[in-house]
Amino acid sequence: MSTSKVTSKQGQADKLYLKDKGKTINMSHGSGGKAMRALIDDVFIKGFSNPILDQLEDQARLSLKELSALGDRLAFTTDSYVVDPLFFPGGDIGTLAVNGTVNDLAAGGAKPLYLSCGFILEEGLPIETLRRVVTSMSQAAAEAGVFIVTGDTKVVNHGSADKLFINTAGIGVINKKVDIAADRAIPGDVIIINGHIGDHGAAIVDARGELALESTIESDCQPLHELVQTMISACDEIHCLRDATRGGIATVLNEFAEASNVGIRLDESAIPIRDEVRGMCEILGLDPLYLANEGKMLAVVPAKHAQTVLAAMRAHKQGEHSAIIGEVVEQPASIVVLQTMFGGERIVDMLVGEQLPRIC
């Protein structure tokens, strides 16, 4: 019998084996045997297919020459996603994993290129749920222009995890002209954000059914690398960038203030926030400054370039609601102060505890 016929029959056998074992993940799918190979071929390879991944090596082999042609520094990041529920208005754990990793790379001014993904699957997870997540990841990767080039799958006993966890790592390249870091903010700089805050955190609350809201709040989950490149093209002197995920904009701005040893003053009336999100926060006693975002980037730019950067952001689909929300000052150092809409002031400290667990 020819090798091609043997391979074909083996592939058919693997698919039958997967089918015979039922429609849910079981421990054999993590055993390294036929069921695992059938799952990988049927779900992951089919969903993520690209020339690098299709080689099926234990590692992705990337061209240093091609990477070096794009810049002089490699950006490398990793993150894990345990969001509950898996699916929510505006996205799911798959889109979250891809876009979150892409945005972490973009926050350093990098061009995102390659991702890895590791799946922790709970015994009993419907295979169609996994397939749906993989499809979302594939679509998000295509939209962001990145390739998922390597990965891993593990299965744990029922009750040892909650359905599905994902770990991702990402590689990008930073152009030699770009110098963005949390410790570069200086007095006189301006704080800009690319839109409404708190949408993701509010969407997760809504998806959990904790409130009977009249209108659905959608997550802002989206890739921001193209917006960042637009900003850099408008001003190559951007000092700080960071996506405001867990802990919200309050956490990011405190990180900037501490790393740069400067003060930051915010204008509450200038911060974009949807009425639905504001209302939800009032009902639950939450502070929107600490709500998670998955599509918001905070930028610290020199005041002389602020209007140029703002105009460029507003011309981009992911920054049409961009606004200047504050400024960097000399004192009080390492402190963020909010000027309230009532004319008072309050310190915006780092988040103590967790407002909403498992939001990303």
Domains defined for the chain, CATH in brackets: 3-174 (3.30.1330.10), 190-347 (3.90.650.10)
Q: Are 170 and 243 in contact (CB under 8 A)?
A: no
Among the residue ranges 116-120, 303-307, 350-354, the one predicted with the least confidence is: 350-354
Q: 344-352: long-range contacts at Cβ-Cβ below 8 A with a sequence spacing of 24 or more?
A: 348/250, 348/253, 348/254, 348/266, 348/289, 349/250, 349/254, 350/247, 350/250, 350/251, 350/254, 351/247, 351/248, 351/250, 351/251, 351/290
User: Is the bond preceding 288 in cis, omega lying within 30 degrees of 0?
Assistant: no
Q: What does the pLDDT read at residue 55?
A: 94
Among the residue ranges 93-97, 202-206, 248-252, 297-301, the one predicted with the least confidence is: 202-206
Q: With 90 as the cut, is the pLDDT of residue 210 above it?
A: no
Q: Are 217 and 280 in contact (CB under 8 A)?
A: yes
Q: What is the DSSP string of 58-104?
A: SS----HHHHHTT-SEEEEEEEEE--SSSEETTEEHHHHHHHHHHHH
Mean pLDDT of 76-90: 97
Burial (CB count within 10 angstroms: exposed 0-12, middle 13-18, buried 19+), residue 225: buried
Q: With 90 as the cut, is the pLDDT of residue 242 above it?
A: yes
Element (H, E) at 229: helix 225-234
Q: What is the pLDDT of residues 148-187, one digit of tens each?
A: 999 999 999 999 999 999 999 999 999 998 999 999 999 9
Q: What is the pLDDT of residues 243-275, one digit of tens each?
A: 999 999 999 999 999 999 999 999 999 999 999
- In 10 A of CB 87, how many CB atoms? 15
- Rounded distance, CA 171 to CA 71, Å? 12
Start-to-end CA distance of the chain, whole Å, equals 51
Q: What does the pLDDT read at residue 4?
A: 46
- In 10 A of CB 8, how many CB atoms? 11
Q: How confident is the model at residue 2 (pLDDT cuts 50, 70, 90)?
A: very low
Instruction: Indicate the average pLDDT of the chain.
Output: 93
Three-state secondary-structure class, residue 113: strand
| % of the chain residues with pLDDT over 90 | 87
**Three-state SS annotation for 261-314:** CCEEEEEHHHCCCCHHHHHHHHHHCCCHHHCCCCCCEEEEECHHHHHHHHHHHH
Q: With 50 as the cut, is the pLDDT of residue 1 above it?
A: no
Q: What does the pLDDT read at residue 14?
A: 54
Q: What is the pLDDT of residues 335-347, one digit of tens each?
A: 999 999 999 999 9
For the chain, list the strands marked E by DSSP.
Answer: 73-81, 87-88, 91-92, 110-122, 147-156, 164-174, 190-193, 240-243, 263-267, 297-301, 323-329, 336-339, 345-347
Q: What does the pLDDT read at residue 3?
A: 40
Q: What does the pLDDT read at residue 10?
A: 54
Which tokens is 116 given?
């890895």
Burial (CB count within 10 angstroms: exposed 0-12, middle 13-18, buried 19+), residue 329: middle
| pTM of the entire predicted model | 0.93
188: left (phi over 0), alpha (psi -120 to 50) or beta: left
